[in-house]
């Protein structure tokens, strides 16, 4: 039996949600990842030190007993963001980073930023204090084709930001195109890559009829882009690191409104590993999962290890959301019903 032991990974882009969903899903991340950057697009977004502290407290209370998992909090930038609040929160270790959602670009982003230029003063202070800027990189103009929104964002917005703020620590989140891969490499910024964008191309959304299970934002693109992402992720290059963008939506909502987001935390490590094995790059997995992120963010890698075993691993069709022993909802995980060939030692889903 093939095994692989790596330094425990971190998830540099994660949605934990709140309340019952948070309580039911957090263990999928907290058991197998040392830290995670928690996205601030909760129903009422995390826009202040106070709300970040209380959200962090609810996450810690939801953790399994004696868990050492560390949630890293982010502040949701809006047109009204107060620079003092942001930088103070960073200097006092409340915020690990700031998150930029162009208004209405994705799930729960209606409070996002309408004119990015208006944030330039804030970016200057972030650059001075070393605070990372995490970006959902898509324009929202209705004239721009949904499949072109990442590229247009890079040309219209990101290239301006990198030019004006060359020392600002920027992560382009969940990249989906070869254009983004090249931009990241050439401009000294970082990027997260999700498991689903390594496995599916845009055909998946039309598999067996309109299929919202594979709908996320940015949407998966053409096959040539998927191949470029696989090459980037498995290259071991320092600018690319693990960020699952695991984004749970209850089945009833997903089926009803087709909301954007794929829930992959129950299978993320196994899903990535499948890709690394297929690309004959298992040797680079630890870099992508456990070393490149800490290197980018200037934090030490985790001390613990994680053992991965090559054996058939059948993934459940649904993860139940349980309240006082009753199933009150379900969430479909990525790879539902498939059998993967890797498993984190001791994990059953
Ligand atoms: N990726 C998604 O499709 N959805 C995310 C938001 C995001 O990361 O853009 C969500 O919060 O559901
Ligand atoms: Zn996003
Ligand atoms: Zn996300």
Residue 276: closest CA among 243, 334, 230, 335: 230
SS3 265: coil
The 3-class secondary structure across 77-97, one letter per residue, is CCCCCCHHHHHHHHHCCCCCE
Ligand 2 ion: Cβ-proximal residues, 5 Å cutoff = 106, 136
Burial class (CB in 10 A: 0-12, 13-18, 19+), 97: buried
Would the ipTM clear 0.90, i.e. be above it? yes
Among 21, 46, 107, 175, the mutation site with the greatest number of ligand 1 atoms within 8 A of its Cβ is 107
Residue 348, pLDDT score: 73
> Quick count: other Cβ atoms within 10 Å of Cβ 148?
15
CB crowding 1-15: b at 16 or more within 10 Å, else e: eeebebbbbbbbbbb
CA of 310 to the centre of ligand 2 (A): 31
Consult the annotation and say whether 149 binds a ligand: no
Kindly calculate the radius of gyration of the chain based on its CA atoms and give it in whole angstroms: 19
Cα–Cα dist 84/87, whole Å: 5
Question: Cα-flanking dihedrals φ and ψ of residue 71, to 5°?
Answer: -80, 135
CA of 218 to the centre of ligand 2 (A): 7
Residue 318, pLDDT score: 98
pTM over 0.90: yes
Residue 1, pLDDT score: 84
Consult the annotation and say whether 245 binds a ligand: yes
Residues taking part in catalysis? 245
Q: Which two tokens stand for residue 189?
A: 């910024």
Q: Which domains does the chain have, with CATH numbers?
A: 3-344 (3.20.20.140)
Is the CB–ligand 1 distance for residue 247 below 6 Å? yes
Residue 125: closest CA among 157, 154, 95, 149: 95
Q: Which two tokens stand for residue 278?
A: 């297929």
Consult the annotation and say whether 302 binds a ligand: no
CB 228 within 8 Å of CB 307: no
Is the CB–ligand 1 distance for residue 217 below 6 Å? yes
pLDDT in tens, the chain (349 residues): 899 999 999 999 999 999 999 999 999 999 999 999 999 999 999 999 999 999 999 999 999 999 999 999 999 999 999 999 999 999 999 999 999 999 999 999 999 999 999 999 999 999 999 999 999 999 999 999 999 999 999 999 999 999 999 999 999 999 999 999 999 999 999 999 999 999 999 999 999 999 999 999 999 999 999 999 999 999 999 999 999 999 999 999 888 889 999 999 999 999 999 999 999 999 999 999 999 999 999 999 999 999 999 999 999 999 999 999 999 999 999 999 999 999 999 887 6
Is the CB–ligand 1 distance for residue 106 below 6 Å? yes
Residue 255, pLDDT score: 80
Is the CB–ligand 1 distance for residue 287 below 6 Å? no
């Amino acid at each position: 039996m093939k095994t692989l032991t790596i330094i425990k990974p971190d998830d540099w882009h994660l949605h934990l949600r709140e309340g019952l969903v948070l309580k039911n899903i957090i263990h999928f991340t907290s058991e197998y990842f040392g830290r995670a950057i928690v996205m601030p697009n909760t129903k009422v977004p995390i826009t202040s030190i106070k709300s970040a502290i209380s959200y962090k407290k609810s996450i810690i209370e939801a953790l399994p007993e004696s868990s050492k998992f560390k949630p890293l909090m982010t502040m949701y930038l809006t047109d009204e963001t107060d620079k003092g609040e942001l930088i103070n929160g960073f200097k006092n270790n409340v915020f690990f980073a700031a998150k930029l959602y162009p208004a209405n670009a994705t799930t729960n982003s209606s409070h996002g930023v309408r004119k990015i230029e208006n944030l330039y003063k804030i970016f200057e202070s972030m650059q001075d204090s070393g605070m990372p800027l995490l970006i959902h990189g898509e324009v929202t103009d209705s004239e721009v084709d949904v499949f072109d929104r990442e590229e247009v964002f890079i040309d219209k917005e990101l290239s301006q930001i990198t030019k004006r703020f060359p020392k600002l620590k920027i992560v382009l989140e969940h990249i989906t195109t070869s254009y983004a891969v090249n931009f990241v490499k050439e401009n000294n910024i970082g990027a997260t890559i999700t498991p689903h964008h390594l496995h599916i191309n845009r055909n998946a959304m039309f598999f067996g009829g309109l299929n919202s299970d594979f709908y996320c934002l940015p949407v998966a693109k053409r096959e040539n882009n998927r191949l470029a992402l696989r090459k980037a992720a498995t290259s071991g290059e320092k600018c690319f690191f693990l960020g699952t963008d695991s984004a749970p939506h209850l089945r009833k909502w997903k089926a009803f409104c087709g909301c954007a987001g794929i829930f992959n935390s129950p299978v993320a490590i196994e899903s990535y590993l499948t890709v690394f094995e297929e690309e004959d790059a298992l040797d680079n997995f630890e870099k992508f999962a456990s070393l490149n992120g800490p290197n980018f963010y200037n934090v030490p890698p985790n001390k613990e290890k994680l053992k991965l075993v090559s054996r058939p691993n059948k993934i459940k069709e649904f993860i139940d959301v349980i309240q006082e022993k009753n199933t009150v909802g379900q969430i479909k995980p990525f790879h539902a019903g498939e059998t993967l060939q890797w498993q984190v030692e001791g994990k059953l889903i």
